[in-house]
Amino acid sequence: MKIFDQLKGKEVIDDKGNKYGNISDVEWNPEANKVEFLIVTERRGPSAAIGMGAKRIIPYEKIHSIGDKVLLKEQ
């Protein structure tokens, strides 16, 4: 999936500059032909070093912008 390739690994940051982690997966809705959620793996703790950090699910509606990093809307 092309969109996954473009988003995978991007760092996710909230409106206050807090780092959530990196995109590890996306939830695609084929009927609506759009991304529903971003799956973000936190980069804290020893398990994060091997990609096993805690996962967060971010609804796509919470995204402010996507560039080198993914910025979330004000909460």
State the Cα–Cα distance between residues 1 and 28, nearest whole angstrom.
Answer: 9
Return the pLDDT at 4.
83
What digits encode the pLDDT tens for the residues 36-70? 999 999 876 555 555 567 899 999 999 999 999 99
Model pTM above 0.85: no
**Please, which residues have CB within 8 angstroms of residue 51's CB and are 6 or more apart in sequence?**
24, 41
Residue ranges of alpha helices (H) inside the chain are 2-7
| CB burial readout 23-48, b (16+ within 10 A) else e | bbebeeeeeeeebebbebbbeeeeee
pLDDT of residue 32 exceeding 90? yes
pLDDT of residue 1 exceeding 80? no
Task: Report the CATH number that the domain containing residue 15 is assigned in CATH.
Answer: 2.30.30.240
Return the pLDDT at 26.
94
Return the pLDDT at 2.
83
Domain of 30? 2-72
In the chain, how many domains are there? Answer: 1
